[in-house]
């Protein structure tokens, strides 16, 4: 049985980043992926902030389109549009992005094993089955980047994230202002719906929620006047980080840990950032030859210092959002539709770190009365300090 310094399970953006960074530091790395084609099936809208895309460390080959703003429409008729006048986000072909990221890991020296599925552990070895038959592969550090279902976490009986949303999305022909991403809070009461332009009169339309996702999706498509649909993407979005993101010689990164942002469901940015913290800790642990959980614990301290507070605030906003009626949403959208507030959103808004703009808005006297005294108290409790 061969033993690697680091075995990574899952070649999504998080796993490929962890594998690349460990290999670049001279560690022996094996990246294990259950599918035969990386990036397939796609389970993503492909909307990444400019910064998130930069963190992926890839060429612009996967970029399909760029957007500079967003339009939010409530079911009761209020609308808010803001355009920062410069590219704020890119829309990518996720399959291409994932393949380039895995290719970069392989170029850095990681061994990539496709059509090989993690099926269990025996001490410091993983058991796999796939094209190579049944195998055991030893590791010094295991990085679980195996997505929302995380078979690695389940095999260890580790508590999973508290919330799982289902997402459904299609690509369709759609005439729209291609500078904007369009958001529909009422299309799915626990979360929201979206239409994302991908250029040349085409768009991705979808939503995520806890229930009746297909029914809501059909309604959104009908109301948006979408043309015929020839592809459908479904997937799970875990929200709320698992209780402990390390243990048993393992670091949990990306969706496996529950890192998607609870305000948007976007998980590539936090996935890649968490993978880079995991890689640093794995390199240190291997160099010091101390693979104990007390050393691996510094991973949790690092990601918390980086984006832990954002995720915590985001989850509270998500829980608060569950209490908003369509009338509340309408009042909120209408209150935000003020030139001074729009200028503030353009200046301070950050898709990956929305805490700063939410804090500013919550303190804005023009916004709070719109959503009532009860909510005001709740929001102040959330954002105090």
Ligand X SMILES: Cc1cc2nc3c(=O)[nH]c(=O)nc-3n(C[C@H](O)[C@H](O)[C@H](O)COP(=O)(O)OP(=O)(O)OC[C@H]3O[C@@H](n4cnc5c(N)ncnc54)[C@H](O)[C@@H]3O)c2cc1C
List residues binding ligand X (CB under 6 A): 9-15, 32-35, 43-48, 117-118, 145-147, 151, 167, 169, 206, 233, 235, 237, 254-255, 260, 265-269, 271
Torsion-angle region of 22 (φ positive above 0: left; ψ -120 to 50: alpha; else: beta): alpha
Give the containing element (helix H, strand E) for 5: strand 3-9
For the CB of residue 78, give the shortest distance to ligand X in the complex, in Å: 24
Question: Toward ligand X, which CB reaches closer, 90 or 286?
Answer: 90
What does the CA dihedral 223, 196, 93, 7 come to, rounded to 10 degrees? -100
The answer to whether 197 touches 172, Cβ cutoff 8 Å, is no
The owner of tokens 């500079």 is 68
Question: Toward ligand X, which CB reaches closer, 233 or 296?
Answer: 233
For the CB of residue 144, give the shortest distance to ligand X in the complex, in Å: 9
Question: Toward ligand X, which CB reaches closer, 39 or 355?
Answer: 39
Among residues 165, 159, 140, 130, the alpha carbon closest in space to that of 43 is found at: 165
Cα angle value 283/285/288 (rounded, 5°): 105
H helical segments located in 87-127: 94-107
The answer to whether 353 touches 270, Cβ cutoff 8 Å, is no
Question: Toward ligand X, which CB reaches closer, 3 or 234?
Answer: 234
Question: Toward ligand X, which CB reaches closer, 198 or 342?
Answer: 198
For the CB of residue 195, give the shortest distance to ligand X in the complex, in Å: 12
For the CB of residue 44, give the shortest distance to ligand X in the complex, in Å: 4
Question: Toward ligand X, which CB reaches closer, 127 or 359?
Answer: 127
Which residue's CB comes closest to ligand X?
267
Q: Specify which residues 130 forms β-bridges with.
A: 116, 133
For the CB of residue 338, give the shortest distance to ligand X in the complex, in Å: 28
Question: Toward ligand X, which CB reaches closer, 154 or 173?
Answer: 154
Pairing of strands 111-113, 29-32: parallel
The answer to whether 168 touches 232, Cβ cutoff 8 Å, is yes
Distance from the first to the final alpha carbon of the chain:
53
For the CB of residue 133, give the shortest distance to ligand X in the complex, in Å: 15
For the CB of residue 283, give the shortest distance to ligand X in the complex, in Å: 19
Q: What DSSP line would sit under 356-367, residue for residue? A: HHHHHHHT-TTT
> Would you give the distance in Å from CA 171 to the centre of its chain?
20
């Amino acid at each position: 049985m061969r033993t690697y310094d680091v075995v990574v399970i899952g070649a999504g953006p998080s796993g490929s980043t962890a594998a690349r960074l460990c290999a670049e530091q001279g560690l022996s790395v094996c990246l294990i992926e259950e599918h035969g084609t990386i990036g397939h099936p796609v389970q993503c809208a492909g909307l990444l902030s400019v910064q998130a895309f930069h963190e992926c460390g890839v060429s612009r080959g996967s970029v399909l389109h760029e957007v500079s703003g967003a339009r939010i429409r409530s079911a009761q008729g209020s609308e808010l549009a803001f355009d920062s006048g410069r590219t704020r986000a890119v829309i990518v072909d996720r399959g291409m992005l994932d393949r380039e990221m895995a290719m970069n890991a392989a170029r850095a020296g990681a061994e990539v094993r496709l059509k090989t599925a993690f099926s269990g552990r025996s001490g410091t070895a993983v058991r796999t089955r796939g094209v190579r038959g049944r195998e055991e592969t030893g590791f010094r550090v295991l990085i679980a980047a195996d997505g929302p279902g995380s078979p690695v976490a389940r095999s260890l009986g580790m508590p999973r994230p508290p919330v799982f949303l289902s997402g459904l999305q299609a690509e369709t022909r759609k005439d729209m202002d291609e500078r904007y991403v369009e958001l529909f809070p009422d299309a799915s009461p626990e979360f929201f719906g979206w239409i994302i332009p991908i250029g040349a009169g085409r768009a991705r339309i979808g939503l995520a929620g806890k229930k009746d996702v297909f029914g809501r999706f059909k309604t959104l498509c009908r109301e948006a006047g979408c043309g015929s649909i020839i592809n459908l993407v479904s997937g799970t979005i875990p929200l709320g980080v698992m209780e402990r993101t390390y243990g048993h010689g393992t670091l949990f990164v990306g969706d496996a840990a529950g890192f998607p942002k609870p305000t948007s469901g976007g998980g590539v940015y936090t996935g890649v950032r968490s993978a880079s913290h995991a890689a640093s800790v794995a390199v240190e642990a291997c160099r010091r030859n101390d693979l104990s959980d007390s050393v691996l614990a510094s991973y949790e301290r690092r990601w918390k210092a980086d984006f832990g507070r954002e995720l915590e605030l985001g989850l509270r906003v998500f829980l608060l959002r569950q209490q908003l009626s369509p009338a509340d949403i309408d009042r909120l959208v209408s209150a935000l539709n003020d030139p001074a507030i729009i200028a503030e959103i353009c200046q301070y808004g950050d898709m990956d770190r929305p805490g700063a703009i939410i804090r500013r808005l919550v303190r804005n006297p023009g916004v709070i009365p719109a959503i009532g005294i009860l909510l005001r108290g709740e929001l102040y409790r959330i954002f105090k300090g």
